[in-house]
Amino acid sequence: EAGVAQSPRYKIIEKRQSVAFWCNPISGHATLYWYQQILGQGPKLLIQFQNNGVVDDSQLPKDRFSAERLKGVDSTLKIQPAKLEDSAVYLCASSPTWGTGHTEAFFGQGTRLTVV
């Protein structure tokens, strides 16, 4: 089966600019996650969707970050305006609906954002 697709792979922007990342999860996966991975750290959950509803966005900096999953399939994560500390890899992951017997999250290759 096709994996989680993310684009772009790399992005360099100046501080105060805006940027958007796109993710297409594995077909049929109801749950979609966006993680932020700062260099040398583990992934930190930014937002979790179940279909097109938000399950958890407690660690999303809502003053500058936004995410949507309008039709319950692909998703977009936006940063506006970007700060230097937003430099990180943004990972998208998906998993089937909990309770179906599959419990792991499947990850895309990530988007490496550099803010200069």
Partner 1 sequence: AQSVTQLGSHVSVSEGALVLLRCNYSSSVPPYLFWYVQYPNQGLQLLLKYTSAATLVKGINGFEAEFKKSETSFHLTKPSAHMSDAAEYFCAVSPSNGNQFYFGTGTSLTVIP
H/E run at residue 67 = strand 65-68
**Does position 22 bind partner 1 by CB under 8 A?**
no
- Residue 81 vs 87, nearer CB to partner 1: 87
Region of 16-24, 63-71, 78-86, 97-105 interacting with partner 1 (CB under 8 A): 97-105
Residues whose CB falls within 8 Å of the CB of residue 61, separated by 6 or more in sequence, listed in order: none
Q: How many residues bind partner 1 (CB under 8 A)?
A: 27
Dihedral angle at the C-alpha atoms of 56, 5, 43, 49, nearest 10 degrees? 0
- Joined together, the tokens standing for residue 94 give 């998906």
**Does position 107 bind partner 1 by CB under 8 A?**
yes
The footprint of partner 1 (CB under 8 A) covers 4, 31, 33, 35, 40-45, 48, 55-56, 91, 93, 95, 97-98, 103-110, 112
